[in-house]
Amino acid sequence: MSDFHNNGDELLDLDQNPSAEELQNQVKRAQSELMQLRERQNQIEKEKVRLEELTRRQEELEHGRNEMADKLARAIILVQRETEEAQRRLEQLNTIQDSFAEHLRNLEEIDPKSWHGRDLPKELTRALGTVDEARSAYARSHAKIAPAADIESGFSGDEGTLFSDSGDQGFVYWLRNGLAFTLPLLSLGTISLFVWIWHLLTAAPR
Tell me: the pLDDT tens digits for 153-190? 444 434 444 444 444 444 455 445 555 555 566 666 66
Domain end marker among 109, 129, 161:
109
**Average pLDDT of the segment spanning 77-92:** 93
Look at residue 95 in the predicted model and tell me its pLDDT.
92
Q: How far apart are the first and last CA of the chain?
A: 145
Q: How many domains does the chain have?
A: 2
7 and 100 part of one domain: yes
93 and 129 part of one domain: no
7 and 103 part of one domain: yes
100 and 161 part of one domain: no
Angle between helices 171-203 and 119-148 (to 10 degrees): 170
Domain end marker among 109, 141, 174:
109
Domain end marker among 54, 89, 109:
109
Q: How far apart are CA 197 and CA 61, in angstroms?
A: 91
117 and 105 part of one domain: no
Look at residue 71 in the predicted model and tell me its pLDDT.
94
Domain that holds residue 99: 1-11+20-109
124 vs 157, residue with greater confidence: 124
121 and 64 part of one domain: no
85 and 117 part of one domain: no
4-53 pLDDT, tens per residue? Answer: 445 444 444 444 566 777 888 888 888 889 999 999 999 999 999 999 99
Look at residue 196 in the predicted model and tell me its pLDDT.
64
69 and 140 part of one domain: no
User: Does residue 127 contact residue 110 with C-beta atoms inside 8 Å?
Assistant: yes
22 vs 77, residue with greater confidence: 77
Greatest extent of the chain over all pairs of C-alpha atoms, in Å: 169
Look at residue 81 in the predicted model and tell me its pLDDT.
94
pTM of the model as a whole? 0.45
80 and 1 part of one domain: yes
